[in-house]
Chain A
Amino acid sequence: MSVFIIRRLIQASLVVFLMSLIVFFGVNVVGDPVYMLISPDADQAEIQATIARLGLDRPIHEQYLLFLDGAWRGDLGNSFVFGEPALRLILHHMPATLELAFTALAMAIVIGIPLGLYAGLYPDQAVSKGIMAGSILGFSLPTFWVGLMFIMLFAVVLGWLPSTGRGDTATFLGIESSLFTLDGLSHILLPALNLALLKISLAIRLTRAGVREAMGQDYVKFARAKGISTKRIILVHVMKNIMIPVVTVMGLEFGALVAFSVVTESIFAWPGMGKLLIDAILQLDRPIVVAYLMIIVLFFVVINLLVDIVYSILDPRVRLQDQGA
């Protein structure tokens, strides 16, 4: 297992290095951040001074080597806009995004899997057909539109929930999160649901397909013949078998939730990493964009590793070897 993990880490560092190359050069060919930063009142000499201070007057390969040199020591550069280390800014915004992503993932599991199970067990019932139709909506409605509709309905028309923002936070076990206060929970409900909608639909469809397939298989028939209760067949035998694709997909989707909750965070003015990223892109705050993408690459690498480990627990036939990677 340790050989597997070491090999995996070597692969990962290669991926991270290649990404740094692509991201750095990709980000640096677009536009010119100087004019986004500097006051229009500044004269030519000040514009030149700013270009020099940001290091933008050097050839691009030199800028990249400087970046690598810093990255090696854990310094991904200073944000052009905030003047603070990009890494620190991102980590500062990370808890807000993580709590949003975890809540959304929990919603996807708690709502999606039971509904999918039901739809898989009783495919001909009207309720099941309703669930499946709903899941299609969940797939096809654009996030920004649903988000705005949620705000219009629950905040403006009904007035039940706040429209935007993160709300109060509290610290519990050393973690500061809005999940620990009522006000925070009322703030997180809409953005998390908006983010979870697609994942719920995905969970429904995966679970349903798995259940439909598993229910016709020999081991289920055999279990029935042995007189095991339906409840036990479904919850122990079927669930265990259909969970592998669900865990894989949800794991990857969790990465996507964390990395690309940009739209939801913008609409709900949620102070997370996604909003930081979109602001950085719009203002050409290159160090933040590069650092963000580097972190996300690492994040996906780690998630994939964890997913593989969970596999081996769910299905002992899967060994943590390279063919499994």
Chain B
Amino acid sequence: MKKIGLIGVAGLCMLASAAHAEKLTIGLASEPTAMDPHFHNLGPNNAVARHIYDNLINQDDKQRLTPGLAVSWAPIDDLTWEFKLRQGVTFHDGSAFNADDVICSFTRAPDVPNSPSSFGTYTKGKTAVRIDDFTVHFKTAEPYPLMGNDLSTISIVSDTVGCGATTEEFNAGTAAIGTGPFKFADYKPGEAITVTRNDDYWGDKPVWSEVEMRPIKSGPSRVAALLAGDVDMIAGVPTTDIQTLGENADLQLSQGVSNRVIYLHMDQFRENSPHVKANGGGDIKNPLMDVRVRKAISMAINRDAIVDRVMEGVAIKAGQLLPEGFFGVSPNLQPVEYDPEGAKALLAEAGYGDGFEMTIHGPNDRYINDARIAEAIGQMLTRIGIKTSVETMPRSVYFSRASRGGEDGLPEFSFILVGWGAGSGEASSPLKSLIHTFDADRGFGSSNRGRHSNPEIDATIEEALRTVDDAARQDLLAKATELAIENVAIIPTHFQVNTWAAKKGLRYVARTDEYTLAIGVVKE
């Protein structure tokens, strides 16, 4: 890259030192809100925490559980999981890691002052007991199979430095001491997060001696920063730029399917649904309560067209809640075939041969191309006689209205486009939150905005959540998924595919959890 005058000299000096230092600069699409790994349970925060901290169990690029600070974990009776800890691990400040750090991290994680979204979701109902320096037991009141998944979200901080520290002390770096592959170096909010290699790391040592992560939220600016050579890699390549960047000989794209399914939720609990009307605008008994109508809608959606035209090929058709390869998916489910004639016939059979009127609501700044997907679906449904108007809005307004904007705090809309990312990396996450009957007291169905309710599915999900045996649980989750799809509790349309772009010679091992991690950047 050409530089002028003094800037050029400065640039040369930097290049010279970079030659043996191996610095990596990444342009991030979103920014963490703190350096405290327990402050905010949010994707960008968790991704940055992965650099500095280890968890008992780490999730690999496919969100499979791999040993982290725990070398093994297994239930020793119905209510107790035993974790054997890794020996000889030291924190960045040189102190040794042991069971005390696990206990105090587990206690601190759900209890950080002012936390916008705490890790209590993963720690509640569990008690951690220190057995010896390198053994910890986690106890629950009922059999609990997801212990490993839950604990794979909790960063382990140091008992002496981290557990008593405030979020500010983490942000300043004084408390940001972990056992992870990188050490905290610098945090300038809005500007950059810098970490340096931990040469004493117990696992595979990173190739990068220094990593700078710069949040550049504007898509075009992020692309320009990569083209200008200011960053080596960017996350979140806008779909419109994928083709041109792919044709650029100096760059290399990395793509991978995510754990995020985009789906449609339908009002299945109100006889009189606010945004469903008879032709001409009169009242009508909610047709979405009829499973034949829901099936017809699913058949009317041309998933190939959504993937090819709206998503420009960067998505995968969905027939269930998670893509192939995840724990708990059913091998028997395929995406519903596009069949507008069959859909019309089904509508006629259900008594809606002349169709009806409906509004689809969706966000316009949350998922990749979300507003355009809603428009495409509106047109596809209009073609089979369901005259669908489209209304999209910013997510800041959308999600609260979709969840509890209606009368008595009920969901406001009748037919919505939403997405769900399975943070746990297995099928119980969407089943529990989207498909199970809404039950505030027991914490089920928290995002079931269509209020689908089926006792058989509920029983299957609850049984799966009690079944510790992996093979049996896999079958139960698959069965629950099959029942949900058969009853058209929701209509999955596609799985999002994420794109990273890097300089030639760098490849990113795409992750299903959408995290951007420096350890995943490999040189070729």
Contact = CB atoms under 8 A, between A and B. Distances in A.
Interface of A: 30-47, 50, 78, 80-84, 92-93, 148, 151-152, 155-156, 158-166, 182-183, 186, 266-269, 271-272, 275-276, 279, 282-284
Given A38-B117, A93-B190, A163 B396 contact: no
Contacts of B227: 155-156, 163
B2 interface: yes
B478 to A, nearest CB: 21
A183 B11 CA distance: 9
Interface in B208-253: 214-218, 220-221, 224-225, 227-230
A158 B2 contact: yes
Interface residues of B, number: 62
B120 A159 contact: no
B20 interface: no
B218 A31 contact: no
B117 A39 contact: yes
Given A42-B446, A160-B2, 11 more contacts: A31-B394, A33-B396, A36-B395, A40-B420, A41-B433, A151-B221, A155-B224, A164-B221, A266-B221, A271-B191, A272-B190
A40 B447 contact: yes
A268 B190 CA distance: 11
Contact of B116 (A37, A41, A186): A37
B443 A269 contact: no
Contact of B440 (A44, A155, A163, A166): A44
A266 B217 contact: yes
B3 A83 contact: no
Interface stretch (B324-332, B397-405, B492-500, B516-524): B397-405
Interface of B: 1-4, 6-7, 10, 31, 33-34, 39-42, 113-118, 120-122, 167-168, 188-192, 214-218, 220-221, 224-225, 227-230, 365, 394-397, 399-400, 403, 420-421, 423-424, 429, 433, 440, 443-444, 446-447
Contacts of A279: 31, 217
A163 B225 contact: yes
Contact of B396 (A36, A42, A159, A268): A36
Nearest to A152: B224
Contact of A81 (B2, B33, B214): B33
Nearest to B30: A279
A31 B396 contact: yes
A84 B116 contact: no
Nearest to B434: A40
25 contacts: A32-B399, A33-B396, A35-B399, A36-B399, A38-B117, A39-B41, A39-B121, A39-B423, A41-B424, A50-B116, A50-B117, A82-B33, A82-B189, A83-B113, A83-B115, A152-B224, A159-B2, A161-B7, A163-B224, A163-B228, A165-B192, A165-B230, A183-B7, A269-B216, A271-B190
Nearest to B167: A83
Contacts of B41: 39, 41-42
B446 A43 contact: yes
Contact of B221 (A37, A46, A148, A160): A148
Contacts of A44: 440, 443, 446
Given A39-B121, A92-B189, A83 B34 contact: yes
A34 B409 CA distance: 14
Contacts of A159: 1-3, 228-229
Contact of A164 (B120, B225, B396): B225
Given A163-B225, A163-B230, A30 B34 contact: no
Contacts of A83: 33-34, 39, 113-116, 167
